Chain A
Amino acid sequence: MVTDKKIISGCVEGDRVAQRELYEKYSPAMYAICIRYSKDRFEAEDILHDTFMKVYLNMKDFRNEGSFEGWIKRIVINTALNHKQKTKNNNYHQNFDNIRETEILDQNNEHENDEIDIEFTKDELVNAIHDLPCGYRTVFNLYVFEKFKHKEISEKLEITESTSKSQLRKARILLKKKLLNETIVKKLAI
């Protein structure tokens, strides 16, 4: 098993074999993060591509002071956030469509106390998060997975804290609706 140190030194020298090894080792975990931040797998591939290019080109800046995986992960997240800005116009319409569903969801408060006894598959979870508007998805990811506080999110995305809270709430509402629909479908199937 080749160590990270050897892989890193190989990548710094531009060794393609080392670059491939690095990719093989870390791409599955990083691709999973990309999937969470993107609207589909195509976008996730773009983000992962850009991430690894940044990693290869900036490898010499890694100082071996912290976790290498953590360093790549930070690059993934930053790349995903930058990617979000690039594709902002496409998200415009999507936001609106989803918000219409929010109103419907608010009326369906009867599901509030339902016990969830069905486990969701990865695809179901991924599909639900992909359907979120870009801004909601970003805030949800940063809050739930990266454990950012609203203040940190607001600074990172340059939005107000209240917007961050609002978008997180709306993200949860939309995800809940999606997952409840899945639950209903499954129950009916049973």
Chain B
Amino acid sequence: MNLHDIDKIYENGFESFKEPPPAALWERLDNSLDAIATAYKKPIAAWLRNSFFVLVGAIIMSVIIYFSTKEKYFNIQSQNAITQNSTQNPQIKKTISKTITEKEDNNSITGQKTNEKANSKTQKLNNYKEEIVEKSYQNKVTKTQTYNQKNNLNITFIAKAESKTTAKPIVQETNNLGMIDSESNNKQNKKDFFANLPCPSRVKANFPLLEIYNTKLQLNKRNEYKLQAPTGGKKNTHITSLAVDLTIGASQINNSFKSKENFETHTDYRKANESQIFTPSYNLSLKYTFDHLSITTGLSYANYGEKTNYQIDNLLYDTIPYLLKIDDIIWEYVLVGYYQDPNNSDIWYPIVEAQPKDTTYSIWTERDTIIKTINEYKNKNSYSYFEVPVLVGYSINHKRFNFELSTGISFGFLTKSKGYILSATNSEIVENSKDYLPLNKTSLNFLLVGGVSYNFSKRFSIILQPYYKKQLTSMFESSYPIEQKYSSYGINGGIRFLIK
């Protein structure tokens, strides 16, 4: 039998070789498939869970803010509603119509042009509406005064100014109502204001009267009052708003390294063997706008990380002893033990001893080489953060669109990390956790956020926000020789709810 017969024996012997595996193997596979199925479900569940929490948080926050601020501010809309209600009243309508007709007749005598007449007509109509509202309001006040006196009611009410900073209470302790009708905030007018109140009352007004300039108290059936800005009154010179944004987005993550010491080999290797990933982000933010300027804060859930494809060489020295012929003496190298590389636990060197051998053995003319094996570690690293941004921005409005640009910082808190990365010495793969790596628990980021929103209803807008984010602090503590920072750019989309 020569050596090549072996090939034929095996080829023929295994030609139709099949053997059913043990029955237990399917059960093992079945269990593994179940485990995989569960593992695949988890990220979906996490997405749903996180989205749910963010959504519930946004709703709760919106409701709290809405109701806590609702009573604090002027409700301009309600005044408009009064006007509309007044004009819907047939009696009032009739009065308006009659008055307008009389005025028009007078105007027609002057012989002005038709356009001027139309403008004048509109202006006058508005004026008459205000008069009607005024009368209607005074009627209500009189009726309520009568009612209160009759029932001996001691009414306390709170009226609030337009902005939060100037919101101070007015307390009226009698059963009479006051009409705030001051022209300015100087002391004399303030004095006049109190003096001109329609009935004896004591009013404590700690806020600048300008803030309630030309405002009126509106009475409702429950004896609660609100300050109202009447139609035609002097408008506030500043536009302020408060909004809640709820957005979800995706971003591309980039990783940058810097070697503090001589670890360039490590950083170069990681640069070459790690690739970018896309990660989701969830954001809930509160935006206060004062004219064109805005301040934004909130809470974000962001992920960073990378895909790794490390290939770690394992050098296995062939342990086969060999024969060597030197000066016609055959030496045999015999393995007597093993020696572990102190710098790399994966490498074992054979310890061989040379022994002269008088033999007629065939001499192997080639020496067996080092067997190099490569272990592949494919993995996806992930670092999850809760982040609190603080941004200042500038925005402009155009019709229903709003364009904005904000910049600032965000504070991050590491909540979870998973995966494996190459150790700084390139010798092993270590778990990506605080137990094995000196991960920084916090981070500081620079943020640049653009945005465009489209207002599709009175309170709701669709928003789209491209952004750039860069970590200013390293992922690792200062003791670690590698400085690693992530940067990301992406886009968020969602809705904006205008609280006020």
Binding site for B on A (CB under 8 A): 14, 16, 19-20, 23, 27-29, 31-32, 35-36, 44-45, 48-49, 52-53, 56-57, 82, 85-86, 88-89, 92, 95-96, 99, 103, 106-107, 111-116, 120, 122, 125, 129, 135, 140, 143-145, 157-160, 162-163, 166, 169, 172-173, 175-176, 179-180
Contacts and interface: CB of A to CB of B under 8 A. Distances in A.
B372 A158 contact: yes
B3 A159 contact: no
A35 B373 CA distance: 22
Given A23-B26, A23-B29, A32-B18, A92 B10 contact: no
Nearest to B313: A158
Secondary structure at the B interface, as helix, strand, loop or mixed, is mixed
B6 A53 contact: no
Contact of B1 (A31, A169, A176): A176
28 contacts: A19-B33, A20-B26, A27-B21, A28-B18, A31-B19, A45-B21, A49-B25, A49-B29, A49-B32, A53-B36, A85-B373, A85-B374, A85-B375, A92-B338, A96-B319, A96-B320, A99-B320, A116-B1, A120-B13, A129-B10, A144-B7, A158-B372, A159-B369, A162-B369, A166-B364, A166-B366, A166-B368, A176-B6
Contacts of A112: 1-2
Interface string B66-101: 000000000000000000000000000000000000
Given A85-B375, A92-B319, A180-B1, A120 B361 contact: no
A163 B11 contact: no
B210 interface: no
A169 B366 CA distance: 13
Contacts of A57: 36
Given A28-B21, A125-B9, A103 B361 contact: yes
A26 to B, nearest CB: 10
Contacts, number: 134
A118 to B, nearest CB: 11
A84 B312 CA distance: 15
Given A32-B19, A99-B320, A144 B11 contact: yes
A62 B137 CA distance: 79
Interface in B257-294: none
A114 B2 CA distance: 8
Contacts of B4: 172
A139 to B, nearest CB: 11
B41 to A, nearest CB: 11
The 5 closest A-B pairs by CB, nearest first: A28-B18, A172-B3, A85-B373, A31-B21, A32-B17
B462 to A, nearest CB: 35
Contacts of A19: 29, 33
B11 A49 contact: no
B28 A169 contact: no
B20 interface: yes
Interface in B4-51: 4-7, 9-11, 13-14, 17-22, 25-26, 28-30, 32-33, 36-37
Nearest to B4: A172
Interface of B: 1-7, 9-11, 13-14, 17-22, 25-26, 28-30, 32-33, 36-37, 314, 316, 318-321, 335, 338, 348, 361-362, 364, 366, 368-369, 371-376
A49 B28 contact: yes
A122 B17 contact: yes
A122 B9 CA distance: 11
Contacts of A53: 29, 32-33, 36
Contact of B20 (A31, A116, A120, A140): A31
Nearest to A112: B2
B335 to A, nearest CB: 5
A95 B11 CA distance: 24
Contacts of B37: 14
Given A32-B18, A135-B371, A163-B369, A125 B29 contact: no
A27 B20 contact: yes
B14 A36 contact: yes
B373 to A, nearest CB: 4
Contacts of B362: 106
B390 to A, nearest CB: 44
B373 A99 contact: no
A142 B364 CA distance: 23
A179 B19 contact: no
A95 B364 CA distance: 17
Nearest to A162: B366
Contacts of B13: 120, 122, 125
Nearest to A159: B371
Nearest to A173: B3
Given A32-B18, A48-B25, A85-B375, A120 B33 contact: no
A181 to B, nearest CB: 12
A101 to B, nearest CB: 12
Contacts of B6: 172, 175-176, 179
Given A23-B29, A53-B29, A88 B7 contact: no
Nearest to B376: A82
B283 to A, nearest CB: 33
B491 to A, nearest CB: 28
Contacts of A180: 1
A58 to B, nearest CB: 12
Given A27-B25, A166-B366, 12 more contacts: A32-B17, A36-B14, A44-B21, A49-B28, A56-B33, A88-B316, A92-B348, A99-B320, A99-B321, A103-B361, A120-B13, A135-B318
B18 A160 contact: no
A176 B3 contact: yes
A82 B314 CA distance: 13
A116 B5 contact: yes
B29 to A, nearest CB: 6
Contact of B30 (A16, A45, A96, A157): A16
Contact of B314 (A23, A85, A135, A140): A85
Contacts of B36: 53, 56-57
A120 B21 contact: no
B3 A169 contact: yes
A89 to B, nearest CB: 8
Contacts of B335: 96
A122 B19 CA distance: 10
Contacts of B374: 85, 158
